[in-house]
Chain A
Amino acid sequence: MKVAMNPQRDGEIRVGFYICHCGHNIAAMVDCPAVARYAEKLPGVVLSRDYKYMCSDPGQELIQRDIREFGLNRVVVASCSPLLHEHTFRAATEAAGLNPFFFHMVNVREHNSWVHTDRHEATEKAKALARAAIARVAHHRALEVKKVPIHPDVLVVGGGIAGIHAALTLAKAGKKVYLVEREPSIGGHMAKFDKTFPTLDCAACILTPKMSEVGTHENITLWSYSEVTKVEGYVGNYTVTVRRKARYVNEDLCTGCQECISNCVYKEPKFPDRFNEGLGKRKPIFIPFPQATPQVVLIDPEVCLNFKRGQLTDKCKKTCVEACGDKKAIDFTQKEETREIRVGTIIVATGFKTFDASRIPQYGYGVFPNVYTALEVERLVNASGPTGGEVVLRDGSHPQAIGVIHCVGSRDNKTNRWCSRVCCMYSLKLAHLLKEHSHAEVYNFYIDMRTPGKSYEEFYDKLLTEGVHFIRGRVGEVTDWAMTPEEEGKLVIRVEDTLAGFVRRIPVDMVVLSTGLEPQADAQAVRRMFNMSCGSEGFFLERHPKLAPVNTFTDGVFLAGACQGPRDIPDTVAQAGAAAAEALVLIDKGFVEQEPNTAFVLEQECSGCKSCVPLCPYTAITFDEAKGKATINEALCKGCGTCVASCPSGSIVQHLFEDDEVFSEIAGILAPT
């Protein structure tokens, strides 16, 4: 992979220079023929051309013909960003029999014509950039692309609808999938929803078939109540450590008959039920919800009488064990386990959390019992929810008037600035369901009604005809100070009605806060574990917002669902399918090609100071204790150059960024015209 040709040693350098007009994109601001004429006179340049579209087939053929006819051994193209067409021109160079790394690209579009307004200055800048590239390319060496095989198994992290869909897609393609879910059951947020907008089909009815398919699919290993704790390796070869928490019930032996729950010494459910957002109660031994997958109960050692502060005491009568009988599924001595698996690709589908409504104290969540979050209301209107679908408030009353407040923790400089995308639609859905279940007057308080999606605007239209009231304005406060006798004992919503142009006070019995979507609380830890990036708001960052929306900056790690940003179910499913397809691309190809811009250590010069080891953001550097030298794993190195810059003895070198290449480029850009 090392020096094959040195300009000083291997004779004449013959550079071909090409500048692309990119239609008007470059030519409008840069005098391309002038740049071509200028480059022609530079040392080593054999020919110089300007052409309308270098990336077109004729443009590529031009390069190939010139290489053959004029004996070019270096090629420089000044056009757009290397992110777009570097591979195109490298391929063209290679097709003409030249090593692709004798090609170098100059960006005169994003870095020049698109951002400048003075044609003369922009042209001079293009000349300087061309000069630098021509000076640099003379020092290029032939490099080869390495191929690394891909392990065919896939890890999917998160068992919400995104993880479920991605896992099923891969499993159906014959790939082995590990699906790791933190909660005792898969299903995620979608399992808690009552209906889905805009079709109003029951969320459970469309989700649970997919859940049970996951549970029974031969290609899927489902590890619920488990968390990924460590990820090592690189694309194609990841080693992942998974912690399987103790549920005190043997998953293989439990049949989900739930006799243990009926026979628990607690006759009545007593503890807040997380699945029902704390609105319902459960026993110490429980199953999260009726359609839970896997259909396996678990024990909460914090409240089970057989434990004290999580420690086994064996002081309970253990009526559950009796009820379980010969199945012997209950195992109080179960310990958490650690498993290690090997996979080639990873799909991160860790989802979102909803905004904590108590962060906006003026809306009274946690102060007034009849102020609810939207997710609580999903459970309240659900037939299998804590009230069987009847809208009964925390104080036992039935509401006559309900206010739904949009954008709670969204589009707000004080909390989260982004639009959470789903709240307008789910607020409309809840307004419809609440009206249907309670016959109350329902008011929606919105800033802007955002309903972009198939049949979404039509759903909004339908709500308008159903008699739901819409008041445009961000709610100032939810309060209990009454101005009139009608307001006594009510929750008063104070809002500036920006259509009517005055401040209104709407007395209601129930308030629903349409909380926005946020990154998971541990998103930063997950980001570090999978070596991903986060945007400023904390959601995982895609490689490109438009053209690589499911890729991350780490090869082989893909994103699906709301961990990347707020989105609704259809978009989540589409993205999960896309992530699965991207993983399949790698798996079916069988290997990955690695850009050879990696760093390497000149062993004889390394002093063994280890300063580079902790600096590497990709953990590619290890220290060879035997030799007392640092070594770089080429498969892990991303070519960021951090170690090269930091090495005190200058003993780390990076391909394509060797000293003579970089310095000649600098000399070229600074040289007088």
Chain B
Amino acid sequence: MPTQLRTYLLCLAALSLLACQPSGGGDAEAEGSGDETESAETTEGEGSGAEGAAVETEVEQIVLYSGRNEEMVGPIIEAFENETGVDVVVNYAGSAELAATLLEEGDRTPADVFLAQDASTLGFLEGQGTLAAVPEGLLTQVDTRYRSPAGHWVGITGRARVLAYNTDNLNSSTLPRDFRALTEPHWRGRVGWAPENASFQSFVATMIAMEGEEATLEWLSAMQANEPVAFPSNTPMVTAIGRGELDVGLTNHYYLYRLREEHGADFAAENHYFRDGSAAAFVNVTGAAILEASDNREGAQMLIGYLLGDQAQTMFAEANHEFPLVNGVASPDGLPAATDLNVPSVDLANIHDLETTHRLLRESGALQ
């Protein structure tokens, strides 16, 4: 009985998938979709070759969970679709939110690829056994710094931590020496941060990896006592800085460029790179991973391969002002070279301890 029920539910699932898939549905039906997708990873064509139809790939659709937003990722996905003819279905949301969703969905997830806006979320999922191995050929395209040593995720682009500041109220001589100075009374109520944000949590995780729990908790508590302004995410924080509602904020480098594009050149904010090898000078990644539960490994690899290709890397750099991670692709205009940022020596792979991060953020009162 239970097996019958399961089969029934599976059939329903397959049917509903077909129903939601307007393009190419006809072909899939003709070939019997259920078997077809499963065979994709195992076979090199013994069964399906008999049909003699498709060229190299049988991939028809890839489901991507994207922690980067549609305006930034969408054009690249579209270029991929045009080039390959594969349909990419994207679920856009926050990185942490999608990670929680992936855990909740478990092996029932429709996702094939997860594109996260930070390394620690990927490291955390890797630890949970949610991610599958990324093939060596893809991994080695980026520097060892920017990929998982265990091989379950690979960095696509880099994003530097900065202190954004209002240019009407501050100049380079009145900026803090380092991020630790933000706990001084002088900065009371003038600093913005986004404790809920995955990139911020990656920064804290970096600090834990570099300086230990105790020192990190101490800094967080001192910050919290200095009455920082907590934002739910980075965009409103940098907006507030440009409007002069706030003097400085701990954030990523590229929000400034988006806001300048929107508000015009007189948007009164600028980025300050600490370049001091501290956790606040750390460069995070937008990284990609393949879901263990995905039965469409071939498609997943195709997509990640494309994101690491020259065209996508250039688009990321030009449209989104992120640092390309693949060797040989230049940094966008107006950005310092990624090699010029004096980043901390800690390995990205060592900053996966989000659970401790979360606990410390709570203990300090930064996370309510």
Partners in one complex: no
- Taking beta carbons and an 8 Å cutoff, which residues of B are in contact with A? none
- Taking beta carbons and an 8 Å cutoff, which residues of A are in contact with B? none
